[in-house]
Amino acid sequence: MVFKVAFGFLYKMITYKKGSLAVLSIALSSGTTFYIEKIMAGVDIKHLIVPILIFAVGFLFYFICLIADLHTGLQVAKYQSYLKYRDKNKPYVLSYKLYRTLWKLLGIMLLSLLLAVTSLMVEIIDLQFFYKVAITFQGAVWLLACGFEIHSI
Protein backbone atom coordinates (compact mmCIF):
# COMPACT_ATOMS: atom_id res chain seq x y z
CA MET A 1 0.00 0.00 0.00
CA VAL A 2 2.80 2.43 0.90
CA PHE A 3 4.66 1.74 -2.35
CA LYS A 4 1.46 2.17 -4.35
CA VAL A 5 0.85 5.59 -2.79
CA ALA A 6 4.52 6.62 -3.16
CA PHE A 7 4.73 5.61 -6.81
CA GLY A 8 1.33 7.15 -7.51
CA PHE A 9 2.56 10.45 -6.06
CA LEU A 10 5.80 10.19 -8.06
CA TYR A 11 3.80 9.57 -11.23
CA LYS A 12 1.62 12.62 -10.53
CA MET A 13 4.70 14.79 -10.01
CA ILE A 14 6.33 13.64 -13.24
CA THR A 15 3.20 13.99 -15.36
CA TYR A 16 2.11 17.34 -13.92
CA LYS A 17 1.44 19.84 -16.75
CA LYS A 18 2.40 17.17 -19.32
CA GLY A 19 5.88 16.72 -17.82
CA SER A 20 6.96 20.34 -18.02
CA LEU A 21 7.74 20.48 -14.31
CA ALA A 22 9.91 17.36 -14.59
CA VAL A 23 11.93 18.84 -17.48
CA LEU A 24 12.42 22.11 -15.60
CA SER A 25 13.44 20.29 -12.40
CA ILE A 26 16.01 18.11 -14.16
CA ALA A 27 17.53 21.10 -15.97
CA LEU A 28 17.78 23.16 -12.77
CA SER A 29 19.17 20.20 -10.83
CA SER A 30 22.01 19.57 -13.27
CA GLY A 31 22.99 23.25 -13.29
CA THR A 32 22.79 23.50 -9.53
CA THR A 33 24.98 20.42 -9.09
CA PHE A 34 27.67 21.96 -11.29
CA TYR A 35 27.74 25.17 -9.27
CA ILE A 36 27.66 23.38 -5.92
CA GLU A 37 30.75 21.39 -6.97
CA LYS A 38 32.50 24.66 -7.87
CA ILE A 39 31.59 26.26 -4.53
CA MET A 40 32.63 23.23 -2.47
CA ALA A 41 36.03 22.80 -4.17
CA GLY A 42 38.20 23.87 -1.20
CA VAL A 43 35.99 22.70 1.69
CA ASP A 44 37.17 19.99 4.08
CA ILE A 45 34.61 17.16 4.23
CA LYS A 46 34.97 16.58 7.98
CA HIS A 47 33.81 20.12 8.66
CA LEU A 48 30.64 19.35 6.73
CA ILE A 49 29.96 16.13 8.61
CA VAL A 50 30.41 17.54 12.14
CA PRO A 51 27.17 19.63 12.22
CA ILE A 52 25.17 16.71 10.86
CA LEU A 53 26.72 14.36 13.42
CA ILE A 54 25.99 16.79 16.27
CA PHE A 55 22.40 17.07 15.08
CA ALA A 56 21.95 13.28 14.89
CA VAL A 57 23.56 12.50 18.25
CA GLY A 58 21.80 15.42 19.96
CA PHE A 59 18.44 14.34 18.55
CA LEU A 60 18.98 10.75 19.70
CA PHE A 61 19.86 11.74 23.27
CA TYR A 62 17.08 14.33 23.45
CA PHE A 63 14.53 11.87 22.10
CA ILE A 64 15.53 9.32 24.76
CA CYS A 65 15.20 11.98 27.48
CA LEU A 66 11.88 13.15 26.05
CA ILE A 67 10.42 9.63 25.98
CA ALA A 68 11.57 9.03 29.57
CA ASP A 69 10.00 12.34 30.64
CA LEU A 70 6.78 11.50 28.79
CA HIS A 71 6.63 8.05 30.38
CA THR A 72 7.14 9.33 33.92
CA GLY A 73 4.66 12.18 33.29
CA LEU A 74 2.01 9.71 32.14
CA GLN A 75 2.59 7.54 35.19
CA VAL A 76 2.21 10.52 37.54
CA ALA A 77 -0.91 11.73 35.72
CA LYS A 78 -2.45 8.27 35.95
CA TYR A 79 -1.71 8.05 39.67
CA GLN A 80 -3.07 11.54 40.38
CA SER A 81 -6.21 10.79 38.39
CA TYR A 82 -6.73 7.60 40.38
CA LEU A 83 -6.36 9.50 43.66
CA LYS A 84 -8.84 12.13 42.52
CA TYR A 85 -11.56 9.99 40.92
CA ARG A 86 -10.92 6.50 42.36
CA ASP A 87 -11.79 5.14 38.92
CA LYS A 88 -9.18 3.57 36.65
CA ASN A 89 -11.32 4.13 33.55
CA LYS A 90 -11.33 7.94 33.81
CA PRO A 91 -9.14 9.79 31.31
CA TYR A 92 -6.03 11.05 33.00
CA VAL A 93 -4.05 12.89 30.32
CA LEU A 94 -4.73 16.39 29.10
CA SER A 95 -4.14 16.55 25.34
CA TYR A 96 -2.55 20.01 25.40
CA LYS A 97 0.30 18.65 27.52
CA LEU A 98 1.01 15.95 24.93
CA TYR A 99 1.07 18.60 22.22
CA ARG A 100 3.49 20.66 24.29
CA THR A 101 5.87 17.69 24.30
CA LEU A 102 5.67 17.48 20.52
CA TRP A 103 6.19 21.24 20.13
CA LYS A 104 9.24 21.11 22.41
CA LEU A 105 10.79 18.44 20.22
CA LEU A 106 10.04 20.33 17.01
CA GLY A 107 11.28 23.63 18.43
CA ILE A 108 14.60 22.19 19.56
CA MET A 109 15.03 20.40 16.23
CA LEU A 110 14.32 23.61 14.30
CA LEU A 111 16.78 25.65 16.35
CA SER A 112 19.50 23.03 15.99
CA LEU A 113 18.82 22.63 12.28
CA LEU A 114 19.15 26.38 11.77
CA LEU A 115 22.46 26.36 13.64
CA ALA A 116 23.65 23.38 11.57
CA VAL A 117 22.79 25.14 8.33
CA THR A 118 24.52 28.29 9.60
CA SER A 119 27.66 26.34 10.45
CA LEU A 120 27.64 24.69 7.02
CA MET A 121 27.25 28.04 5.29
CA VAL A 122 30.07 29.71 7.24
CA GLU A 123 32.30 26.70 6.54
CA ILE A 124 31.67 27.08 2.82
CA ILE A 125 32.46 30.81 3.06
CA ASP A 126 35.57 29.86 5.10
CA LEU A 127 34.92 31.80 8.31
CA GLN A 128 36.51 29.50 10.89
CA PHE A 129 35.63 31.56 13.97
CA PHE A 130 31.91 31.70 13.14
CA TYR A 131 31.95 28.00 12.27
CA LYS A 132 33.25 27.16 15.75
CA VAL A 133 30.70 29.49 17.35
CA ALA A 134 27.82 27.89 15.44
CA ILE A 135 29.02 24.36 16.28
CA THR A 136 29.38 25.29 19.96
CA PHE A 137 25.89 26.79 20.09
CA GLN A 138 24.41 23.77 18.33
CA GLY A 139 25.91 21.39 20.89
CA ALA A 140 24.89 23.70 23.74
CA VAL A 141 21.27 23.73 22.54
CA TRP A 142 21.07 19.94 22.62
CA LEU A 143 22.81 19.71 25.99
CA LEU A 144 20.55 22.36 27.52
CA ALA A 145 17.47 20.59 26.16
CA CYS A 146 18.62 17.20 27.46
CA GLY A 147 19.51 18.68 30.84
CA PHE A 148 16.12 20.34 31.13
CA GLU A 149 14.31 17.09 30.25
CA ILE A 150 16.39 15.11 32.73
CA HIS A 151 15.64 17.70 35.40
CA SER A 152 11.90 17.47 34.72
CA ILE A 153 11.93 13.66 35.04
Q: Residue 50 has what pLDDT?
A: 85
Q: What is the residue-wise DSSP string for the chain?
A: -HHHHHHHHHHHHHHGGGGHHHHHHHHHHHHHHHHHHHHTTT--HHHHHHHHHHHHHHHHHHHHHHHHHHHHHHHHHHHHHHHHH--TTS----HHHHHHHHHHHHHHHHHHHHHHHHHHHHHHHT-HHHHHHHHHHHHHHHHHHHHHHHHH-
Q: What local confidence, expressed as pLDDT, does residue 81 receive?
A: 76
| Full pLDDT tens readout for the chain, 153 residues | 667 777 776 777 778 777 777 777 777 777 777 776 777 777 778 888 888 888 888 899 889 988 998 888 888 877 877 777 776 676 667 666 677 778 888 888 888 888 888 888 888 888 888 888 888 888 888 888 888 888 777
pLDDT at res. 66:
87
Q: What's the confidence (pLDDT) of residue 94? A: 66
- Residue 95 pLDDT: 65
